[in-house]
A and B are shown apart, each in its own frame.
Chain A
Amino acid sequence: MPRKLMKGNHASVYGAILAGCEAYYGYPITPASEIAESASTLFPKFGRIFLQAESEVAAINMVYGAAGCGQRVMTGSSGPGISLKQEGLSYCAGSALPCVVVDIMRGGPGLGNIGPEQSDYNQVVKGGGHGNYRNIVLAPNSAQEMCDLTMLAFELADKYRNPAFVLTDGVIGQMMEAVDLPEPVSEFPDKSDWAVKGTDETRHLINSIYLDHDDLEEWNRELERKYELIQKNEVLVEEYMMDDAEIVTIGYGSSSRVLRSAVDMARENGIKLGLFRPITLFPFPVDEIAKLPEAGIRGILTVEMSTGQLVDDVNLALKGRMISDLYSRLGGNVPSAVEILEKISELYGV
C-alpha cells in the first residue's frame, strides 16, 4: 500500500480522486484553501473537472448541478463559507442529491479568525439550512482518516442520495501525517433512473418543490425514514482504554487527539480514563453513549472547541441518567492534555 506524508486537506483530495470524484467546485478560504489548490492541481491530471466558483453560493449550486447529472462531486470550505452554502445544501437535501462537502472549521462567529475551532457543529450536524433535513457527518481526526472518510462520504452520499460532510478543524486540515493510500474505487452506482444526463432515457426531474401540502408532508416523511435508516446502519465510533474506564472523555476531531494524549498521561498516573470518540456525528452514537452509565462510569467529560454544542447531543443520549460535564477552548485555542487532566482532577477528585 503506497504511503505518503501529506496534510489532512490534501489527503481529503486524494480520497476524492480515489473515490472517483468527477468534479470539484470551490472557493478559497483559510484554512481550507489547500483543498481547492490541491484539487486544481490533481483533478486535471485525471481529466476531472475543477472550477473555481465566483462565490461559495455558486460553488454549492454547481455541486447541485453536477450531482443532478449523476456525477460524484465535492466542495470544501470553512465556517463562513459553509454558512453561505446552507441554502444550496437544503436544496441538495430536498432534491435528494448526493454530494460531499469538506468543512475545515475555524474560529467564529462572524469573521472570527483562522485558528481551529469546532463551532460549526450545530450548523452542519443539525442540518443548517431551512427545512427538515440532515447531513451525513463524518469527523476524521487524522490525515489518514481525511482520506478514508472522504471516500466513505462519497459512498454514503450515493447510498442514501444525501449530502455528506467531512467535518474537521484547522489542526487536522493543516497537519501532515503518513497516509496509506487505499485502492481506488472501481465500481460506481448506476444513477440513470434519476440523474439527468442529456439523453432520451434520462429526461428526469430534479426538484424540491411540492406545492401540495400532503405531497410535501409525505416527502418529508420519506426523508425522515431515510435518516432513521442512516441512524440505524451507519454509526461509527472509536473507543480507547474504555474496558476498565471509570471516567470517560468524549470528543471528536483534533480534540479527540488531545484526549488520547490525556488518556495516556492519566493511565501513567493510575487514573482509569477512557476515550469515546464519535466518528459519525450524524448519525450520532446515541445507543453507545446511552450504555455508558451502566458500565461503571462515574464521570463523563465532553471536550470540544465550541461552547457546548457536542455536549448537548451527549446529554440527550444520556437521557438524564448522567450529565456530562463540559470543558471547552475557543477562539483558535486547542486544549492541552495537561489542562484536561487538571479539569478531570478538579471535577472527579482524582
Chain B
Amino acid sequence: METFLLPWRSLRRSPSFTGCDMEKKTVLRKPKGFIDVYKHKPGAEKDRTHYCPGCGHGILHKLIAEALEDFDLVEKTIVISPVGCSVFAYYYFHTGNLQVAHGRAPAVASAVSRANPDSVVISYQGDGDLAAIGGNNIIQAANRGENMVVFFVNNAIYGMTGGQMAPTTLAGQKTTTTPYGRNVKTDGYPIQVCELINTFTAPVYVTRTSLHDMPNIRKTRTAVRKAIMNAKEKKGFSFVEVLSMCPSGWKKDSLQSQQWIKEDMIPRFPLDVFRDISEDAEAVERPVPVMDPEEVKKIFGYSDFKAGTIQKNPEANFEKVFLRVSGFGGQGIMSTGIALANVGMEYDYNVSWLPSYGPEMRGGTANCSVKIQEDMIGASEVTEPNIIIAMNQPSLEKFEKIMVPGGALIYNSTLIDIEPSRNDVDIYPVPITGIADELGDTRVQSMVSVGAFAAITGLFDPEEIVRLMPSLFEGKPDKVLRMNEEAVRRGHNYVTENFSV
C-alpha cells in the first residue's frame, strides 16, 4: 500500500488515518475505496488523477472513497460513470464499475440496483450529463425512488468538452458557446436541480453542498456519508448536488474559483438540506429472480396441456378453411376467429389467426383471417376466402366479392336485410345476433357463429367444442361458460334444422 502525506485535517476521524502518535509524522494513506495503482488510466502517471489543478472532482472522489472504506462498502459498491469529466471515475474507485452513455447513468443504475439489490449503486454525474441530455432519466429515477445515490457535480459548465454552456451556467456567464454571456432571454435560466428533485414524492434525501472552502467540504463529507448510508440501508433515492470548482473551464485560478462559487453560484444555488426523510424511510426490498425450470413448468401448466388429441372428421365438407370473419368492433369478431383457431388446434390441424391489421383496425370495423388445414400454412392473411362470416352489411358487401366459387357464405340475418349477390357460393343466412339475444346476452354471438361454422363445415363436433369451453374461456365464471355452450349448440342446431349440410 502506497502512503503519502496529506495536509488535510478533515479526515481525522477516518480509520484510514493511521498516525495519531505525536512522536510520529501524521501519515494519511489513500482510502481503500480507491484503486491503489490506477491501472485503467492510460499513460505513465498511474498515481494521480486526470483532473485539473483546483478541480473539485478529486475532493468529492476522496470523500466517497473514504466513506466506502469506513462503512466497509467498497466491495459491494458499483459506480456508474457517464460522459463528462467523471467519465473516468472508474480509473479510481476500487469498486465494480460501469462506464455508460451520456446522461444515462440513472437508467443504467436503476437496472444495476435491481440486478444487485444488496449493492450500493452510485451514479456520479456532471451538470451537462444530468440536467441537459439526461434530464428525463434523472427525473424518472428519482420519481421511482430507485435505491441509489446520485452525486451531481455542478460546476456550471461542460468541463470535458472544453467549457461550453451547461443548463446550470449562470446568467451572463461567458462560456465557449455563450461568448457574450448567457442570455436568459434566449438560453433560459440556470436550472436548479435540487429544487426540481424535491418536487417528487419518492426521494428520501435531497441536499446541495459546496466544495469551495473547508467548512463546506466538511458539510459535503457529512452529506456524502449520509447518502451512502441510505443506500446501504436501501432507503431509496438520495441526491447530493455539489457545487464544484472548474478553474480550467472558468478561466480562473483556484482561489478565484472558490471565491466565484461563494459570491456568484451560491446566490443562484443556495446550500440547503431540501429534504431528509431517511430516518423514517422504509427499506425498499427488490428480490432478485431465481431461475427454477420446474416452477416455470408448473406455472405454465406443462402437465395439464393436452393438445391435438381430438379425432378429425374424415367426412368433413372442407379440407382447408380460408375464413374471413368481419363485422363491427364489439361483435366478437376476433373472439370467433380465435375460438375456431383454438378448436382447430385441438383437432391437430395447422391453424393461423390474423387480426385486421394496420389502418383497417380503426374506424369501428373489425375482421380477421383464419386458416385451418393439414399442411403447413403459408401466408396467414386470407385473400381468397372459401368461407366468410359476415356480421354486418358492409362486411357482407366487402368480403363476398373476394370469395372463391363453391365456398360457404354465412351472414348474420338479424342485422343484414339485403341478399348476397353471389350465386356461385352456398348461402347460409343465420340470425346470429337474434339467437344470442334469445339466450340473454348479445356477447355470446361469437359462439353462435362457431356453432354454425361447425355445422356447415362438418369439421368440428359441437360437443367437443363444449368440452373445450373451460380452456376457451379460462377464468370466466360458470354462468358465462354455460351460456356460451348453449350458444354453440343453438348455432349448430339452427344450421342443421334449416339447411341441408
Contacts and interface: CB of A to CB of B under 8 A. Distances in A.
A73 B111 CA distance: 10
Given A46-B289, A205-B97, A51 B42 contact: no
Interface string B238-255: 000000000000000000
Interface in A192-219: 196-200, 202-209, 211-212, 215
**Chain A interface, DSSP helix/strand/loop, else mixed:** mixed
Nearest to A178: B345
* Residue with the greatest number of chain A CB neighbours at <10 A, chosen from B109, B302, B342, B353: B353
Nearest to B136: A54
A17 interface: yes
Contacts of A291: none
Interface stretch (A18-26, A222-230, A292-300): A18-26
A101 interface: no
B341 A176 contact: yes
Contacts of B87: 209
Contacts of A63: 111
A58 B110 CA distance: 10
B90 interface: yes
Interface stretch (A119-127, A156-164, A257-265, A317-325): A257-265
Nearest to A209: B99
Interface string A319-343: 0000000000000101011100000
B278 interface: no
A70 interface: yes
Contacts of A51: 110-111, 114
B299 A206 contact: no
B310 interface: no
Contacts of A73: 111
Given A63-B111, A336-B383, A178 B97 contact: no
A31 interface: yes
Contacts of A332: 358-359
Contacts of B376: 260
Interface stretch (A131-139, A183-191, A279-287): A183-191
A205 B99 CA distance: 8
Interface string A24-38: 010000010000000
A17 B101 contact: no
B307 A61 contact: no
A196 B78 contact: yes
Interface string B264-293: 000000000000000000000011111101
A175 interface: yes
Contacts of B353: 5, 175-177
Interface residues of A, number: 87
A196 B286 CA distance: 18
Contact of A186 (B101, B293, B379): B293
B98 A88 contact: no
A23 B96 CA distance: 20
A63 B288 CA distance: 15
A252 interface: no
Nearest to A20: B291
Interface string A221-262: 000000000000000000000000000000000100111111
A81 interface: no
A174 B293 contact: no
B185 interface: no
Contacts of A199: 75-76
Contacts of B295: 46
A94 to B, nearest CB: 10
B101 A261 contact: no
Given A18-B296, A257-B380, A171 B99 contact: no
Nearest to B291: A20
A46 B296 contact: yes
Contacts of B395: none
A116 B378 contact: no
A174 B355 contact: yes
Nearest to A339: B383
Contact of B137 (A2, A54, A95, A171): A54
* Residue with the greatest number of chain B CB neighbours at <10 A, chosen from A55, A70, A87, A207: A207
A47 interface: yes
A290 interface: no
B300 interface: yes
Contact of B111 (A46, A69, A209, A261): A69
A90 to B, nearest CB: 9
Contacts of B96: 196-198, 202-204
Interface string B339-350: 001100100001
A305 B329 CA distance: 28
Contact of A178 (B80, B307, B358): B307
B119 interface: yes
A202 B378 CA distance: 49
Interface string A102-117: 0000000000011110
A271 interface: no
Interface of A: 1-5, 14, 17-18, 20, 22-23, 25, 31, 45-49, 51, 53-55, 57-59, 61-66, 68-71, 73, 87-88, 91, 95, 113-116, 170-171, 174-178, 181, 183-186, 188, 196-200, 202-209, 211-212, 215, 254, 257-264, 332, 334, 336-338
21 contacts: A1-B305, A3-B308, A3-B345, A18-B296, A22-B288, A23-B114, A49-B289, A54-B107, A57-B107, A58-B137, A62-B107, A62-B110, A69-B112, A176-B341, A176-B354, A177-B351, A181-B305, A198-B78, A257-B380, A259-B378, A263-B378
Q: Nearest 10 CB-CB pairs, A to B?
A: A198-B119, A261-B378, A65-B111, A2-B305, A3-B307, A115-B358, A69-B115, A196-B96, A260-B378, A65-B108
Given A209-B99, A337-B378, 17 more contacts: A20-B291, A22-B288, A23-B114, A47-B290, A61-B100, A63-B111, A64-B104, A69-B111, A88-B101, A115-B357, A175-B354, A178-B350, A200-B75, A203-B96, A207-B99, A334-B379, A338-B383
